[in-house]
Amino acid sequence: MIDFNPSMPFVSMSQHALLRMFVWLRYNALVVVDFHTHIFPPWVRERRDEYIRRDACFALLYSSAKAKLVTAEELIASMDDSGVDCSVVLNIGWTGQELCRETNDYILDSVSRYPDRLVGFCGVQPRAGDAAVRELERCVLAGAKGVGEMRSDVQRFDLADEVLMKPLVDFAVEHDIIFLTHASEPVGHEYVGKGNITPGVLYSLIKAFPYLKLVCAHWGGGLPFYALMPEVAKALDNVFFDTAATNFLYQAQIFKQVSDIVGSGKILFGSDYPLISQGRIMAQVHSLDISQEDKGKILGENAQTLLSGAGGGRNAI
Ligand SMILES: [Zn+2]
């Protein structure tokens, strides 16, 4: 790394030093990646009641008028306000394959309009069989880097069902595609959308498909704590955890605790925007009593590494 002192006044810097500074900024400046955001097409927001009637997952998450729906443009504005360079835009676990496809189109279109700012993950209904695999293939060809946010509980399938999941997982592994699943705690308070994708369910998936790159949302419902068991730690080789909705679930010390158990290299900053403002959780991470190195990894470096090879196509970061 080039040693650059940011307090050095520009006026006294030689051209050479200025050049060194720009190189430093280009290659060492922190890139912030929000790994967990949701966007929807404007027509879904306008006809919200119709989509609530049509789909159980959408109904679960968005029946309350307080649950905000935002478009790609609103996400970009939030990123600009909060200092987020790149966001992973997730779909949801629509129960019907045709609604997955309709909303995947919007995500793919948004990524094509903001290729430097957004990375797209698509939704699939694994029970659709071949149609789900073809949809994943279509999305990956159009630039998608992952599948998610999967909701096996609401979409009514078994994440560890090897017959059902193998074709999707095989395609994902072959193309370095990442799966991201919702997760929740088996204990504690109830909340809208909590569901029952608990550490035991995630562990069955991880054991069935150890080569799959998997992101368990919301700190994996507490799965990292079981990594104090050596066999669990070993099984988590290809598993990552996002921090989405931390403020609603855990004390801030979870960042340090999980870093100590599984390593900061497995933690991906995610907000769950628009459920939580991106600025709020970024401020939380910046205020943590952990090293700058760990903050850098959590806020963006881990995501960059994970996404860099995904899909083999264009990359926003
Ligand atoms: Zn979730």
Q: How far is the centre of ligand 1, averaged over its atoms, from the C-alpha of 311 (Å)?
A: 23
Domain count, the chain: 1
Tokens coding 236: 């988590």
User: Three-state SS for 287?
Assistant: coil
Q: How far is the centre of ligand 1, averaged over its atoms, from the C-alpha of 91 (Å)?
A: 11
Query: Whose CA is closest to 208, among 164, 149, 263, 270?
Result: 164
User: What is the model's pLDDT at position 208?
Assistant: 97
User: What is the model's pLDDT at position 30?
Assistant: 81
**Ion ligand 1 neighbours, Cβ < 5 Å:** 182, 217
pTM, full prediction: 0.90
Which range marks the domain in which residue 86 is found? 31-312
Q: Is 1 a member of any domain?
A: no
User: What is the model's pLDDT at position 310?
Assistant: 87
Provide CB contacts within 8 A for 41, sequence distance 6+. Answer: 71, 102, 103, 106
Q: How far is the centre of ligand 1, averaged over its atoms, from the C-alpha of 66 (Å)?
A: 17
Torsion sign across C-alpha atoms 78, 80, 82, 85? positive
Q: Give every strand in the sheet of 267-268, ordered side by side.
A: 33-38, 86-90, 118-122, 146-150, 178-181, 214-216, 239-242, 267-268
Q: How far is the centre of ligand 1, averaged over its atoms, from the C-alpha of 273 (Å)?
A: 11
CATH number of the domain that 266 lies in?
3.20.20.140
Q: How far is the centre of ligand 1, averaged over its atoms, from the C-alpha of 38 (Å)?
A: 10
Q: How far is the centre of ligand 1, averaged over its atoms, from the C-alpha of 281 (Å)?
A: 16
Q: Is 81 a member of any domain?
A: yes
- What are the mean pLDDT values of the chain's consecutive 10-residue runs (317 residues total)? 40 51 54 97 97 97 96 98 97 97 98 97 98 97 97 96 97 97 95 94 97 98 98 98 94 96 98 95 93 96 93 57
Q: How far is the centre of ligand 1, averaged over its atoms, from the C-alpha of 73 (Å)?
A: 22
Rounded Cα–Cα distance for residues 178 and 76 (Å): 23
| Tokens 């769950």 found at | 272
